[in-house]
Amino acid sequence: MVRWGGGRYEGGACLPLQPLQDAPVTMATPCPTWQHPDLSLHSQWLSLLLVLLLLLGPPTTPGMEDAAFPHMGESSQPLPRPCPLRCSCPRADTVDCDGLDLRVFPHITKEAQHLSLQNNQLQELPYNELSRLSGLRTLNLHNNLISSEGLPDEAFESLTQLQHIYVAHNKLSVAPQFLPRSLRVADLAANQVTEIFPLTFGEKPELRSVYLHNNQLSNAGLPPDAFHGSEAVTTLSLSNNQLSYLPPSLPPSLERLHLQNNLISKVPRGALSRQTHLRELYLQHNQLTDSGLDATTFRKLHRLEYLDLSHNQLAVVPAGLPRTLAVLHLGRNRIQQVEAARLRGARGLRYLLLQHNQLGAAGLPAGALRPLQGLHTLHIYGNGLERVPLALPRRLRSLVLPHNSVAALGAHDLAATPGLAELNLAYNHLDSARVHHQAFHPLRALRSLDLAGNQLTRVPTGLPAGLHTLRLQRNQLRALEPEPLAGLDQLRELSLAHNRLRVGDIEPGTWHELQALQVLDLSHNELSFVPPDLPEALEELHLQSNRISYVGPEAFLNTPSLRALFLRANRLHMTSIAPEAFLGLPHLCVVDTTGNPEQVLIQLPPTASRRPQAGGP
């Protein structure tokens, strides 16, 4: 017989158990079985099959050898999917469920370290789900519907490794009372937060960045120990809230502080005395007055590089500016005069922005900016200056003066700034009779000159030879002569739009020396046909809104590089453009003839690629 360990015969069935190790197998009478008399042959084959099965060993019994089979007390349902349905899991530790319109927090594998649930419809975070995710490092809940009621106080207690949390654009009315000690970045922007708590951001030695902008925080909602024990915070954004004064006890490690768009009228004395690492301070769009600042406000900010005080109510430049300051933005205040003494400490200043103040004729006295020997850019547009300020810093590279009342340029007005590369005098009161013929002569480095919107009747003479851009639109030019443009062989862009030019007013040879000119704007004049002898390098020609009624076959004979031609709003008819007009223009890809009395027929030579041409009334 076959010897089985613990085998027994019961009720006509053999119960196979594990064979004894190394037990001898001998043939004997099989277990009793019932047979039909007519099935004797089949019974012999069945007997043989039974012997073979016994020799091969019994089948595996569920629960005895299959470790994956559920044991007593365990569910027989399949294990949870490593990646939730419809989500993506680019790595084993990353789950991305962005933008799936989820309303219920999905079941996430506890191995997840980075979880994104942004752009969904979640209203709450169930504690039992979050508590499982103890290894989570990044939690992105941006742009959901989560309220403070849907965020239990203990929600983050088990997330002891969490480093980045993003809950911006939700419906929180108060901040979480507790966030993990391991946190590095916290973004609660664009909620309705009115209050934070000591352990929201306090006692976080690794915390680097906190974003609380676009909330409803007042000073009462910020506890004095809000950042106690968080000595590594470098970026704090509190812009677009309801703060009335600069909060005290800010982290001394701060490098960037955003407080713009609040109601701040005062910086309390000593409020910034510990922030010696601060590099960028944004206080624009507040209600600061001169009395809200004092000589000590910025004195200890020894690393400050960027200070924005624009859109306030300051009448003078603040005192005590640090030497390290590189950018000072004072635009849109009420400053009436700039005193040299106020700028003496900011000797490293490179960008000074004073646009839209109340600087009048005496607003910038001679030498007022002399302490700023390294000044690169000066913006003073939108004031009431009647002349270019005298004794400007010699190293100045950009002077932006549009929308003032400058009516004259003398021979020496710009002599103090020979390194000037950009000069913008647009929309002043300059007329040709009061612009000295040597006014621009000292500016050998000038590359861009903007004289648009003045009262010039002719192009100024003595323009620097290195000029790249010249803007003369919206003047009263009635004639173009070769002499003022002679020597401008580096000029690339010339705008003469919105003047009173006719073809007969453009003298022969006017364009002769403009060998580098690529863009020419003659729109909104009184031209009746395309001016002849245009520069050979021209790529873009604006002739819209003139009186052109015909384009002849030789109109563009000298401009083989032309790429774009604008002829809209002229007096062209269907056959006004000669079929041969565009021959020899292999690069032409845009011809705009819209806004003419009739649809204009355009024939372009074949090229490799072209944009559709515009045509029609």
Tokens representing residue 264 in the block? 């701040």
Calculate the dihedral angle through the C-alpha atoms of 98, 99, 102, 107, rounding to the nearest 10 degrees.
Answer: -20
CA distances from 283 to 181, 309, 319, 527 (A): 30, 5, 16, 51
Tokens representing residue 484 in the block? 């003022």
Q: State the Rg of the chain over Cα.
A: 41
Length of the chain: 617
pLDDT at 82: 78
Averaged confidence pLDDT in the chain? 88
Residue type, 33: T
Q: What is the pLDDT averaged over residues 232-247?
A: 97
Phi-psi map region of 22: left, alpha, beta (phi>0 left; psi -120 to 50 alpha): left
Name the residue with tokens 């569920």: 62
pLDDT at 572: 96
Q: What is the pLDDT averaged over residues 380-403?
A: 96
489: exposed, middle or buried (Cβ count in 10 Å: 0-12, 13-18, 19+): middle
pLDDT at 77: 43
pLDDT at 13: 36
Closest CA to 578 of 553, 554, 596: 553
Beta bridge partners of 468: none
522 pLDDT more than 60:
yes
CA distances from 236 to 216, 411, 451 (A): 16, 50, 43
Calculate the dihedral angle through the C-alpha atoms of 592, 593, 595, 599, rounding to the nearest 10 degrees.
Answer: -140
18 pLDDT more than 60:
no
Q: What percent of the chain is modeled with pLDDT above 90?
A: 81
Cα 322 to the center of its chain, rounded Å: 29
pLDDT band per the 50, 70, 90 thresholds, residue 222: very high
Q: What percent of the chain is modeled with pLDDT above 70?
A: 85
Quote the CA–CA distance of 129 and 166 in Å, as a whole number: 18
48 pLDDT more than 70:
no
pLDDT at 336: 96
Q: What is the pLDDT of residues 501-511, one digit of tens each?
A: 999 999 999 99
pLDDT band per the 50, 70, 90 thresholds, residue 617: low
- Name every residue whose Cβ is closer than 8 Å to that of residue 60 and which is 6 or more positions away in sequence: 66
16 pLDDT more than 50:
no
Q: What is the pLDDT of residues 362-390, one digit of tens each?
A: 999 988 998 999 999 999 999 999 999 99
Q: What is the pLDDT averaged over residues 517-543?
A: 97
The CB density around residue 148, as the number of other CB atoms within 10 Å, is: 20
pLDDT at 58: 47
Q: What is the pLDDT of residues 87-132, one digit of tens each?
A: 999 999 999 999 999 999 999 999 999 999 999 999 999 999 999 9
Residue 209: in which H helix or E strand, if any? strand 209-211
Using alpha carbons only, give the angle 87, 89, 90 rounded to the nearest 5 degrees: 135
pLDDT at 613: 53
- Better-scored residue on pLDDT, 355 or 608: 355
Backbone angles phi, psi at 233, to 5 degrees: -65, 125
Quote the CA–CA distance of 117 and 142 in Å, as a whole number: 7
535 pLDDT more than 80:
yes
234 pLDDT more than 70:
yes
E-assigned strand segments in 554-608: 564-566, 590-592
Q: What is the reported pTM? A: 0.83
Tokens representing residue 144 in the block? 């959901």
Q: What is the pLDDT averaged over residues 597-613?
A: 70
Q: What is the pLDDT averaged over residues 424-449?
A: 97
10 pLDDT more than 50:
no
Q: What is the pLDDT averaged over residues 451-462?
A: 97
73 pLDDT more than 90:
no
Backbone angles phi, psi at 590, to 5 degrees: -135, 125
Q: What is the pLDDT of residues 148-193, one digit of tens each?
A: 999 988 889 999 999 999 999 999 999 999 999 999 999 999 999 9
17 pLDDT more than 60:
no
Beta bridge partners of 400: 379, 424
- Better-scored residue on pLDDT, 556 or 43: 556
